[in-house]
Copies of this chain bind each other. A is one copy, B any other.
Amino acid sequence: MPELRRDPVVGRWVIIDSEHSKGPLDFPKDNNTPRHHAICPFCPGREHQTPHEADAVRPPKSLPDTPGWQVRTVPNKFPVLTAEGSLAKEGIGIYDQMTGVGAHEVVIESPDHDKTLTELTREEMLSVIGQYQSRFRQLSKDARFKYVVLFKNFGSSAGATVEHAHSQIIALPMVPKTVLEEIKGAEEYHQKQSRCVFCDMIAQEYQDKERIVAENTSFLAFCPYAPRYAFETWIIPKGHSADFALADQSTQAHLAQVLQDVLKRIKKVLGNPSYNYYLHTAPVGYADPSCYHWHIEIIPKLTRSVGFEWGTGLHIVPTFPQDAARYLREV
């Protein structure tokens, strides 16, 4: 029998379509193996084809915009928001408008065109996480920005237009809707229970066990009880922590380990699918860090959203999270 399940943070209901339940082999396959590309603008030696480097992990004394880097952040050549200008708001009758001021950056995650995150060494993966955090810290200093979001599109079905391993970071002049909803839900829960809803979720996951995918000293990876997508997996710090930008060196190393571990499991179980992940952290200067809990949401791109989901916000999910977790855990 189909099940309706409600997410405890934002109150979103989802339908688990148990009558047409799908396992890992029931989804169409993507081919996401990178192939050598003679004119890739993200490869070393073509640094002049991107805007000037904003940040990088590179040897001391090596110069910006030259080869030698391990991770490299550049402004997006085709930004959706513009870095220049001040923030102006205007009312147009009942409508509101703001100038599209923001930052849009690309984090190139490896010099090697043929490597995806799953093939990086532990140290290389840690450099990626360190670079993410460095950008969060830097962009949070700009008074125009209220929120910084990191996201990765891997594979063309997930929206990647360049194959060379990269993530994107956008700094926004307002807190986006999805995060606002999480914060509101977490604040309401905190008011009632005097506890963090995400911390309670972690406790519940340990009690139920069946949705756990992996863990290490600092992080739990699990398939959420009320997912929006098949094989959706979250990575969350076990200890309460609102802000990714404050994660210390050893926490970053543990994140590098668990993120790579989960991506390897997804690759193995689902045959190198396209995926997206994004990092939800507290807004810049968030006043009440006891209410929010940062985390990463990973969405393998296995099905297409259709009219019903857009029209209702009600997702139909063909795989129970405990089944997805079992496949990912046992691989």
Residues of chain A having any CB pair with chain B under 8 Å: 1-6, 8, 11-13, 15-20, 78-82, 85, 92-100, 149, 151-153, 158-159, 168, 170, 172-174, 176-179, 181, 197, 200-201, 204, 207-208, 225-226, 228, 276-278, 280, 297, 299, 304-308, 310-314, 316
Query: When the two chains form their complex, are residues A82 and B307 in contact, meaning their CB atoms are under 8 A apart?
Result: no
Q: With contacts A80-B15, A159-B306 known, is A311 near B99, CB below 8 A?
A: no
The residue that A204 contacts in the complex, of B94, B176, B204, with Cβ under 8 A, is: B94
Query: When the two chains form their complex, are residues B6 and A96 in contact, meaning their CB atoms are under 8 A apart?
Result: yes
Q: With contacts A2-B82, A80-B15 known, is A311 near B93, CB below 8 A?
A: no
Chain B residues whose C-beta falls within 8 Å of the C-beta of A207 in the assembled complex: 93
Copy total for this chain: 2
5 A-B residue contacts at CB 8 Å? Answer: A1-B100, A15-B81, A159-B308, A278-B307, A280-B311
Nearest CB to that of A149 among chain B residues? B312
Min CB gap A192→B, angstroms: 12
Query: When the two chains form their complex, are residues A308 and B100 in contact, meaning their CB atoms are under 8 A apart?
Result: no
Query: When the two chains form their complex, are residues B200 and A159 in contact, meaning their CB atoms are under 8 A apart?
Result: no
Nearest CB to that of A178 among chain B residues? B313
The residue that A78 contacts in the complex, of B20, B80, B97, B307, with Cβ under 8 A, is: B20
Nearest CB to that of A225 among chain B residues? B95
Nearest CB to that of A193 among chain B residues? B94
Q: With contacts A98-B3, A313-B177 known, is A151 near B278, CB below 8 A?
A: no
Q: With contacts A99-B3, A312-B179 known, is A158 near B307, CB below 8 A?
A: yes
The residue that A307 contacts in the complex, of B80, B159, B204, with Cβ under 8 A, is: B159
Min CB gap A328→B, angstroms: 19
Known: A5-B96, A159-B306. 14 other contacts (CB 8 A): A2-B80, A2-B99, A5-B95, A6-B95, A8-B96, A15-B80, A80-B316, A93-B208, A159-B305, A172-B312, A178-B313, A276-B311, A278-B310, A305-B305
Query: When the two chains form their complex, are residues A1 and B278 in contact, meaning their CB atoms are under 8 A apart?
Result: no
Query: When the two chains form their complex, are residues B311 and A149 in contact, meaning their CB atoms are under 8 A apart?
Result: yes
Task: Tell me the complex Cα distance, A170–B178, Å.
Answer: 25
Query: When the two chains form their complex, are residues A306 and B158 in contact, meaning their CB atoms are under 8 A apart?
Result: yes
Chain B residues whose C-beta falls within 8 Å of the C-beta of A197 in the assembled complex: 94
Q: With contacts A95-B226, A149-B311, A276-B306 known, is A13 near B176, CB below 8 A?
A: yes
Q: Identify which of A208, A297, A311 gathers the most chain B CB atoms within 10 Å of its CB.
A: A311
Query: When the two chains form their complex, are residues B81 and A308 in contact, meaning their CB atoms are under 8 A apart?
Result: no
Query: When the two chains form their complex, are residues B177 and A12 in contact, meaning their CB atoms are under 8 A apart?
Result: yes
Min CB gap A3→B, angstroms: 5
Chain B residues whose C-beta falls within 8 Å of the C-beta of A3 in the assembled complex: 97-100
Q: Identify which of A152, A197, A226, A304 gathers the most chain B CB atoms within 10 Å of its CB.
A: A304
Nearest CB to that of A95 among chain B residues? B225
Task: Tell me the complex Cα distance, A310–B82, Å.
Answer: 21
- By Cβ-Cβ distance, the 10 closest A-B pairs, closest first, are A2-B100, A159-B306, A276-B307, A278-B311, A177-B313, A176-B312, A178-B313, A4-B98, A6-B96, A151-B307
The residue that A308 contacts in the complex, of B1, B5, B278, B311, with Cβ under 8 A, is: B278
The residue that A178 contacts in the complex, of B19, B80, B158, B311, with Cβ under 8 A, is: B311
